[in-house]
Amino acid sequence: MFYYLLYPLHTEFSFLNVFRYITFRSVGSTLTALLVSFILGPWLIRKLGNLQIGQQVRDDGPETHLKKQGTPTMGGTLIIFAIGISTLLWSDLTNRYVWFLLLVSIGFGVIGFIDDYLKVVKKNPEGLWPRYKMGGQLAVSAIVALFLYFQPSYNTILAFPFFKNLAPDLGLFYIPLVIFIIVGTSNAVNLTDGLDGLAIGPVMTASATYLLFAYLTGNVKIANYLQILYIPGVGELSIFCGAMVGASLGFLWFNTYPAQVFMGDVGSLGLGGALGTLAVITKQEILLAIVGGIFVMEALSVIFQVGSFKLRGKRIFRMAPIHHHFELKGWAEPKVIVRFWIISIILALVAISTLKLR
């Protein structure tokens, strides 16, 4: 919006020329999302409390979680709203990649919202039937995958970190890969969201990392220098990523231990879907396994735990996802959370360093 309203006036007011720069608009987007979160956060928490939209805590989890019963949830509505508003205000809305990201964030967010609503408001512990929950995610991801596949300026090359000459063109097989990455990331973030601030911290780190990746991938000079794939128009996603960083930081203000609000599936599915889509559009799909290593670790811990129990009748971890394992080992909740944040920052730095190690 600002890009159209203010930039054209730079001929009259030269300082408005600054609105042409992605860097400036990314900072503006970050601060706007942060401000929206700070302003609406307290109101939303009160509203959720008044509407009795409180978390039902299962009794088979760690004892320490029982005191969380009734904590307002579905705070992810604020995260998605702040991201949407900020993106609409600061980005170039003729850029189709921006709309892909908004489609996935809101589409996955709506799926999560319905699941949360059925569980928390309608008191239906099953929530949205898995076939509808997964079906909805597959449908939204497939729309993005097909749009990307038939987009002339987009390619189906799978780029590998470290090996600049290893870049196979997957052709049609890129479509199922895109769907797997978006749906897989969404559910991995969902599993991770089991301690106060545990998911939103690595989401913020990953969003900041993909802000950088989007900027580099959309800049022909830098992309050529780094020998990464140049994709015209992808730089505009830096503004969306800035909104994710600002909205995550703002939500963390209220979700930090002891949490005043949980994001709910509306937040975890929406944010996870956005991260998966960012990884695909910036052609840094494999690097997401490093940047989002915390999410990968959490999902794998569940897969290995369930697999081991079914095959051997024995658990590997005291409880999965792995954050519960450390809780049951006696680590205080904040210790688990901050250590996972530290790991996510280390992984982001490693991922960024691979851009030069090629």
Binding site for ligand 57M (CB under 6 A): 55, 57-58, 60-61, 65, 68, 73, 190-191, 193-196, 255, 259, 262-265, 268, 302, 305-306, 315, 319-321, 324
Q: Which is nearer to ligand 57M, 271 or 279 (CB)?
A: 271
**CA 293/CA 313 separation, integer angstroms:** 28
Structure tokens at 280: 């695909």
Peptide bond before 232: cis, by omega within 30 degrees of 0? no
User: In this complex, which beta carbon is closest to ligand 57M, that of residue 25 or of residue 324?
Assistant: 324
Q: Of 218 and 321, which has the nearer Cβ to ligand 57M? A: 321
Least spacing, CB of residue 290 vs ligand 57M, in Å: 23
Inter-residue contact 215 to 208 (CB < 8 Å) = no
Closer residue to ligand 57M in complex, CB, 12/63:
63
In angstroms, give the least distance from the CB of 343 to ligand 57M: 18
Q: Least distance (Å) from ligand 57M to the CB of residue 31?
A: 24
For residue 258, whether the previous peptide bond is cis, meaning omega lies within 30 degrees of 0, is yes
Nearest distance from C-beta of residue 21 to ligand 57M, angstroms: 36
Cβ proximity to ligand 57M: between 282 and 305 the closer is 305
Smallest distance, Å, CB 38 to ligand 57M?
Answer: 18
Which H helix or E strand runs over 195?
none
Judged by beta carbon, residue 47 or residue 164, the one nearer ligand 57M is 47
Q: Which residue is nearest to ligand 57M (CB)?
A: 61
Q: Show the tokens assigned to 170.
A: 């997957």
Q: How far apart are CA 102 and CA 93, in angstroms?
A: 11
| Dist CA 138 CA 148 (whole Å) | 15
Cα angle: 340, vertex 278, 341; to 5 degrees: 10
d(CA 83, CA 92): 15
Measured CA distances, 154 to 97, 196, 281 (Å): 11, 38, 8
- How is residue 48 written in tokens? 């959720």
Query: Is the Cβ of residue 196 or residue 285 nearer to ligand 57M in the bound state?
Result: 196
Q: How far is the CB of 228 from ligand 57M (least distance, A)?
A: 33
Closest distance to ligand 57M from the beta carbon of 352 (Å): 27
Helices 76-90 and 264-281, packing angle to 10 deg: 40
